[in-house]
Amino acid sequence: MIPELSNPSVCMKDPERVKEILESMVKAGSNTVQVISDFDMTLTRFAHNGKRCPTCHNILDNSMLITEECKVKLKDLLNKYYPIEIDCTRSIAEKLPLMVEWWTQAHELLVKQDIRKDKLAIVVRQSEAMLREGYQLFFDHLHEHSIPLLIFSAGIGDVLEEVIRQAGVFHPNVKVFSNYMDFDECGVLKAFKGVLIHIYNKREGALLNTGHFQELRTRPNVVLMGDSLGDLTMADGVQDMENILKIGFLNDKVEERKQSYLDAYDIVLIKDETLVVPNAVLLYLTGNK
């Protein structure tokens, strides 16, 4: 039904179930569909030519806006906490407080750096951030078909928006939930706004934004895309959900994590740096138009 689902990167625990979900969504029509996607390592690449690509945080961490001393501290945090993030021998309950520690410490360090709002566009332009291959079709297709795209990120909203703006795909159908910077009257970072979003509290983040999901209540069919098991709760605010198709990118520690990803996501994409499969699914849902 979708030839790309036979690509070598694709793994599914229950292909029949995927077929049922897709058929049910096609029947309901693309005007009942909404897409909810994570950002870092889901819409952006994990690696390119063997080199890791940056997350929103890393774009700042590696930039000229941060002192060398602070870079070392942020790198130490990454080296300490990233292995915990992807450690499948620890439960989410065990990892959650450690992730809060990571985000809190990283944001405290960033806030001390006098980061200027007007420099963000420059550091994003100079960075090695890369959206996955096929991003243009992904964003343009959703826009053309008026399908709402919620980007739900534990990264930094201001940086994320700049990445998609510079790529020319920040269309009006895109909405972002993320951690936004709070600047003082001189345009200098002084804090982060609102409730912190980290990788394991996206459910709470979703429930704080009931207004958004209320507006989309005529779209009970959800395509969810993520790269972490924490991303699975991004759709918890959706009202009267009828179907959800979960697409998960498994980028790192593949063998150790494969079974848990197969149990949690309907379609698992293994070391696939492209949006070829999500695009094929979305084209199918819009009648290949």
- Residues classed as catalytic: 38, 40
Is residue 233 within 8 A of residue 203, CB to CB? The reply is yes
Q: Is 40 in the site for Mg ion (CB under 5 A)?
A: yes
Contact letters for Mg ion, residues 198-237 (x by CB under 5 A): -----------------------------x----------
Tokens of residue 159, six digits: 């940086």
Q: Is 162 in the site for Mg ion (CB under 5 A)?
A: no
For residue 154, give the nearest of 212, 85, 88 by alpha carbon.
85
Q: Which residues bind ligand TMP (CB under 6 A)?
A: 38-41, 55, 57-58, 77-78, 85, 102-103, 106, 153-155, 199
Is residue 164 within 8 A of residue 139, CB to CB? The reply is yes
The count of chain residues that interact with Mg ion, using the rule CB under 5 A, is: 4
In angstroms, give the least distance from the CB of 85 to ligand TMP: 6
In angstroms, give the least distance from the CB of 288 to ligand TMP: 30
Tell me how crowded residue 288 is: count the other CB atoms within 10 A of its CB.
8
Tokens of residue 221, six digits: 């069919």
Among ligand TMP, Mg ion, none, the one that 103 touches (CB under a kind-dependent 5 to 8 A) is ligand TMP
Q: Which residues contact 37 (CB under 8 A, 6 or more apart)?
A: 43, 149, 150, 151, 152, 224, 225, 226
Tokens of residue 99, six digits: 């992730």
Of the candidate spans 35-43, 119-127, 132-140, 243-251, the one that interacts with Mg ion by CB under 5 A turns out to be 35-43
In the complex with Mg ion, the residue whose CB is nearer, 40 or 158, is 40
3-state secondary structure (DSSP) of residue 28: helix
Which residues make up the interface to Mg ion (CB under 5 A)?
A: 38, 40-41, 227
